[in-house]
């Protein structure tokens, strides 16, 4: 068992982040400045997009994209029930409704055939998530969207830095959104980024993140038209501070190193857990290179949700971080009430979500820590096997 706490995640902050943060702090410019602009350029370039719009969270980014696209009451957006709740909440924020479709058990992304079948007269957009950093089917969603004149929005919050069939994540839809919460591949503390090739969309998002100031205000705030207190539309304050952006610039400069470290940790787990009789491991498909966000294993199909919960509780008792990524969105109480969803509607997502265990996963994880996690996992699973079955 572990001799010290092994957290579920841990940000990787180097001297570069400290240096840029301190420089920014001393510069006197704490919002709307050169760091934000630099961070926007770095993320947009990585996603192969012309524009980047930095915001204060991934959730804010999704909200602005949907609102800028004019999605609203009466519209439906096709999306996955197996995700972090923000990927659906943004649809509710603008008054539209999610139309959930079930996932494919191998990739955990929406089943493209079910996406196609769910298209109806109210469908305006497809909001696709690269679950746990797996970009599988993004090209198929893009061609379904094109064929039916729908907008594809990519919630690539879990997939920074990877690509699929030669196309970078963030580049498949009209817009992509990244998130930089501390458990993501890179972090700014809190933060997010919209990426797009569509200049009008980028400008609308810039205006909405900045209190509805006129189109054309850049991230550096400089534009000759109008005053700082001219507000052309109802906007928000979703700006990212220069301090957060400084962290982002440093993290982006180190992105390849960071992704490589995460790959190393994923390999450590796979080498220890491959062939495990009670576990299903993430599918590693050479065609869809994961950007490793988290390392999520699943108990075998014969296990129940209660058994999984006890395994997680057991790991936590031994100071090993573990998470139930993700409970189904359509089963959250307010979704049941608002959208009329309930158990049995998306059986694959429900079955998978009852058996997932996110294991500790961070760049500095050692072989020893990985051993400790895998041993503790074996002990907890063993206890479930010995327990009398109802
Ligand atoms: C992290 C994440 C987001 C955004 O989260 P924030 O905490 O708002 O930055 C959105 N969608 C998915 C799928 C995510 O994993």
CA distance 367 to 365: 7
Q: 226 CA to middle of ligand 1, Å?
A: 34
Residue 267: how many CA atoms within 13 Å on its side-chain side? 6
pLDDT at 385: 77
Q: State how far the Cα of 386 lies from the Cα of 243, in Å rounded to an integer.
A: 52
Tokens found for residue 283: 């599918």
- pLDDT bin (cut points 50, 70, 90) of residue 3 is low
CA distances from 52 to 198, 251, 322, 358 (A): 10, 16, 33, 30
Say whether pLDDT at 219 is over 60: no
Beta bridge partners of 240: none
pLDDT given for residue 259 in this prediction: 97
| Mean pLDDT within 377-387 | 86
Q: Please write the tens of the pLDDT for every residue from 257-294.
A: 999 999 999 999 999 999 999 999 998 777 778 999 99
Mean pLDDT of 103-132: 98
Fold of the domain built from segment(s) 15-102+109-253? 3.40.640
Residue 87, ligand 1, Cβ within 6 A: yes
Q: Residues 149-162: what's their mean pLDDT?
A: 98
For ligand 1, atom 5, the nearest C-alpha belongs to 58
Question: What's the confidence (pLDDT) of residue 229?
Answer: 86
Compute the distance from residue 327 Cα to the ligand 1 centre, in Å. 14
In this chain, the answer to whether the domains covering 15-102+109-253 and 256-386 adopt an identical fold is: no
Mean pLDDT (whole number) for 358-373: 98
Domain extents for the chain?
15-102+109-253, 256-386
For 145, half-sphere exposure in the C-beta direction (CA atoms, 13 angstrom radius) is 22
Distances 73 to 91, 95, 151, 213 between C-alpha atoms, Å: 10, 5, 16, 24
Q: Is the peptide bond before 256 cis (omega within 30 degrees of 0)?
A: no
Q: Looking at the predicted structure, is the pLDDT value of residue 81 above 70?
A: yes
Catalytic residue among 114, 124, 147, 184: 184
86 in contact with ligand 1, CB cutoff 6 A: yes
Ligand 1 mutation pick, 11, 59, 128, 193, max ligand atoms within 8 A of CB: 59
Q: What is the pLDDT of residue 170?
A: 98
Give dist(CA 76, CA 92) in Å, integer: 10
Per-residue pLDDT reduced to its tens digit, 22-75: 999 999 999 999 999 999 999 999 999 999 999 999 999 999 999 999 999 999
Which tens digits make up the pLDDT trace of 205-217? 999 999 999 887 7
Let me know if 147 is a catalytic residue.
Answer: no
When pLDDT is cut at 50, 70 and 90, the band that residue 104 belongs to is very high
Other C-beta atoms closer than 10 Å to the C-beta of 15 total 8
Atom of ligand 1 nearest to the CA of 158: 15
pLDDT at residue 289 in the model: 87
Average pLDDT over residues 121-125: 98
Average pLDDT, the chain: 95
pLDDT > 80? residue 389: no
Ligand 1 pocket member 59 (CB < 6 A): yes
3-state secondary structure the chain: CCCCCECCCCCCCCHHHHHHHHHHHHHCCCECCHHHHHHHHHHHHHCCCCEEEEECCHHHHHHHHHHHCCCCCCCEEEECCCCCCHHHHHHHHCCCEEEECCECCCCCCECHHHHHHHCCCCEEEEEEECHHHCCCCHHHHHHHHHHCCCEEEEECCCCCCCEECCEECCCCCCEEEEECCCCCCCCCCCCEEEEECCHHHHHHHHHHHECCCCCCCCCCCCCCCCCCCCCCCCCCECCCEHHHHHHHHHHHHCHHHHHHHHHHHHHHHHHHHCCCCCEECCCCCCCCCCCCCCEEEEECCCCCHHHHHHHHHHHHHCCECCECCCCCHHHCHHHHHHHCCCCCCCHHHHHHHCCEEEECCCCCCCHHHHHHHHHHHHHHHHHHHHCCCC
Cα 37 to Cα 242: distance, rounded to the nearest angstrom: 9
Question: Best substitution site from 86, 127, 188 to test ligand 1's pocket, by max atoms within 8 Å of Cβ?
Answer: 86
Q: How many CB atoms lie within 10 A of CB 313?
A: 11
- The answer to whether residue 390 scores a pLDDT higher than 50 is no
Tell me, what's the pLDDT at 301? Answer: 94
Whether the pLDDT of residue 228 is over 90: the answer is: no
Architecture of the 256-386 domain: Alpha-Beta Complex (3.90)
241 CB near ligand 1 (under 6 Å) = no
- In this prediction, residue 224 carries a pLDDT of 46
CA distance 315 to 253: 35
What is the distance in A from the centroid of ligand 1 to the CA of 84? 6
Percent pLDDT > 90 in the chain is 91
Q: Is 256 exposed, middle or buried (0-12, 13-18, 19+ CB in 10 A)?
A: exposed
Banded model confidence at residue 384, pLDDT cuts 50, 70, 90: confident
Residue 253 has pLDDT above 60, yes or no: yes
């Amino acid at each position: 068992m572990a001799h010290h706490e092994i957290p579920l995640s841990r940000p990787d902050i180097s001297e570069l982040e400290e240096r840029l943060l301190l420089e920014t702090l001393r510069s006197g410019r704490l919002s709307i400045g050169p760091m934000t602009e630099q961070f926007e350029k770095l993320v947009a370039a990585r996603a192969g997009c012309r524009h980047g719009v930095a915001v204060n969270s991934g959730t804010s980014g999704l909200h602005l994209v949907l609102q800028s696209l004019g999605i609203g009451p009466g519209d439906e957006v096709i999306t996955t029930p197996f995700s972090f709740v923000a990927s659906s909440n943004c649809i509710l924020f603008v008054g539209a409704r999610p139309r959930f479709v079930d996932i494919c058990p191998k990739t955990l992304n929406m089943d493209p055939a079910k996406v196609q079948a769910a298209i109806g007269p109210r469908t305006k957009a497809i909001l696709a998530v690269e679950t746990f950093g797996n970009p599988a089917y993004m090209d198929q969603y893009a061609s379904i969207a094109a064929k039916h004149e729908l907008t594809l929005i990519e919630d690539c919050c879990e997939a920074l830095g990877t690509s699929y069939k030669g196309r970078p994540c963030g580049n498949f839809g009209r817009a992509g959104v990244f998130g930089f919460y501390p458990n993501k591949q890179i972090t700014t503390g809190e933060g997010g980024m919209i990426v797009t090739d569509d200049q009008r969309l980028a400008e609308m998002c810039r205006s909405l993140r900045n209190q509805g100031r006129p189109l054309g205000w850049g991230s550096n705030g400089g534009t000759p038209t109008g005053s700082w207190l001219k507000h052309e539309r109802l906007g928000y304050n979703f700006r990212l501070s220069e301090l957060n952006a400084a962290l982002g610039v440093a993290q982006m400069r180190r992105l390849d190193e960071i992704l490589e470290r995460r790959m190393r940790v994923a390999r450590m787990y796979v080498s220890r857990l491959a062939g495990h009789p009670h576990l299903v491991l993430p599918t590693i498909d050479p065609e869809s290179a994961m950007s490793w966000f988290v390392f999520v294993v699943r108990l075998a199909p014969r296990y129940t949700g209660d058994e999984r919960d006890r395994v997680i509780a057991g790991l936590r008792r031994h100071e090993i971080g573990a998470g139930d990524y993700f409970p189904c969105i359509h089963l959250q109480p307010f979704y049941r009430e608002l959208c009329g969803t309930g158990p049995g509607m998306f059986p694959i997502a429900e079955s998978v979500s009852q058996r997932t265990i996110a294991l500790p996963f961070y760049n500095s994880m050692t072989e020893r820590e990985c051993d400790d996690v895998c041993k503790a996992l074996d002990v907890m699973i063993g206890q479930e096997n010995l327990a009398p079955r109802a």
